[in-house]
Amino acid sequence: MTCNSENSLAHVHACMPKQPMQHLADKCWSKMASLRVKSEESDKAQASSSSSSNKRPRLSSSVSTLPPASLMSIEEISQARLTLSSILPPSPSDFEVTFLGTGSAVPSKNRSNSCIAISTAAAGPMSRLRFLLDVGEGACSQLYQSVGGNDECFDEALCSIRLVWISHHHADHICGLPMLLEHIHRAQRAKRRRIPATDSAMHASPPRVMVIAPQQVLQYYEYFAVLAGIDDIVSFVPTVNTLYAGSTTQVCQATGGIITRLRSVAVEHCRFSYAAVIDLYSGFKIVYSGDCRPSQSIITAGAGCDLLIHEATFDDSMGADALSKRHCTTSEAVGVGTSMRAKHCVLTHFSQRYPSSSPHQLSLSSPSFPKAAFSTSFDFLRFAYPSQIASLPRTTRLLCDLYDVMDSE
Ligand SMILES: [Zn+2]
């Protein structure tokens, strides 16, 4: 199966052997089904005529150590599975968000380091284009897996990247950049080799990938690009140039008009840490927090945004750690989203001390949180905005429960 630059969102979905989120759900479903069999066998062995007939069947035997809130009835699981399979197809006016890494510090089995890909549908002669927010270690291999391990789709995805925005200099946000740039260079050369020699227009150099990052990050990567012989495919822009509207034309040109405004906003984390406020051609506004304490600068600059992607490194019991390490707890991140009246907030950048997202799920189940507007991210979670956003909170809560079950094995 092949991809070409004229692909629509729907066609790119069709290119992939399975949607990652659906694949995960299927895998978890199989696990749940096997637990159900074990449970039923156990129930038969201990059958009691009065208790079994009036109670809902539960996945009890293998998950008995989980708190009651994590137990789902067979009916609830079936209903949630139905929801997963009936997610609305994306519309051509959507933008698509793919979480390639959702963990902090070091990669783990379930969560790679920070990387979020945002892409648009192909519209008329415009190709599908992507930009990345942070590029943690393993971002390139995560991108490869996100397109189903298809070499051709992978190269097409690499060639569609126009901009990389890096929030700050910590390793879990920047270490994937060298491999990413080398693969973009390789994919661009391979693409040009496939173009007939007679098509001189197509042989013109592709637009450079714009990398926006704090100066101390750029100092290192500018040397790297020259030494690796790939400095002809990339242009480096210091973040300070995007603090005001001055770089808007530059960013707009680099992204083929998809981003109409990009503004970096200083936040409280390490020195030179920023959040991004991004306006798209379709009128949607996306805000990405990077790493930070709850920041008034984000609330002000991103007020009323369509989608807030906010870090929530710690659960609510670790407020002191969040304060000393200048990160956010779940409640603090949700508080920022509520204060800025974000239409939807997706939490990310979880401490690797949580193999699943139970602590965050418990926080999000608090009656004070508006459940419909908050979701939890997972590696390879992908959704189209706004077509699929209504299903996201319920879907991610289901995945939290399924992760709990898998972790208990
Ligand atoms: Zn950091």
Domains and CATH numbers, the chain: 9-28+82-194+206-407 (3.60.15.10)
Per-residue pLDDT, 304: 95
Q: How far is the CA of 340 from the centre of ligand 1 (A)?
A: 22
Angle at the Cα of 102 from the Cα atoms of 64 and 106, rounded to 5 degrees: 95
Q: How far is the CA of 1 from the centre of ligand 1 (A)?
A: 39
Q: How far is the CA of 269 from the centre of ligand 1 (A)?
A: 7
Pairing relationship of beta strands 382-385 and 95-101 according to DSSP bridges: antiparallel
Q: How far is the CA of 388 from the centre of ligand 1 (A)?
A: 30
Per-residue pLDDT, 393: 84
In the chain, count H helices and then E strands. Answer: 15, 13
Per-residue pLDDT, 246: 65
Q: How far is the CA of 188 from the centre of ligand 1 (A)?
A: 31
380 contact partners, CB below 8 Å, separation of at least 6? 20, 21, 23, 24, 98, 99, 100, 142, 145, 146
Neighbours of 225 (CB within 10 A): 23
* pLDDT, tens digit (0-9, with 9 covering 90-100), for 102-138: 998 888 877 889 999 999 865 444 567 899 999 999 9
Residue 243 is classified by DSSP as S
Per-residue pLDDT, 313: 92
Q: How far is the CA of 273 from the centre of ligand 1 (A)?
A: 8
In 3D space, the residue among 380, 383, 409, 378 whose CA is nearest the CA of residue 396 turns out to be: 378
Low-confidence ranges of the chain (pLDDT < 50): 1-23, 25, 29, 32, 35-37, 39-40, 43, 46-74, 77-78, 80-89, 123-125
Per-residue pLDDT, 3: 42
Per-residue pLDDT, 85: 39
Per-residue pLDDT, 407: 67
Per-residue pLDDT, 56: 30
Q: How far is the CA of 309 from the centre of ligand 1 (A)?
A: 15
Scan for tokens 């990009």, then name that residue.
262
CA distance linking residue 129 with residue 121, whole number of Å: 8
Q: How far is the CA of 376 from the centre of ligand 1 (A)?
A: 19
Q: How far is the CA of 332 from the centre of ligand 1 (A)?
A: 17
* pLDDT, tens digit (0-9, with 9 covering 90-100), for 39-64: 445 545 544 444 443 333 332 232 22
β partners of residue 335: none
Angle at the Cα of 165 from the Cα atoms of 163 and 170, rounded to 5 degrees: 145
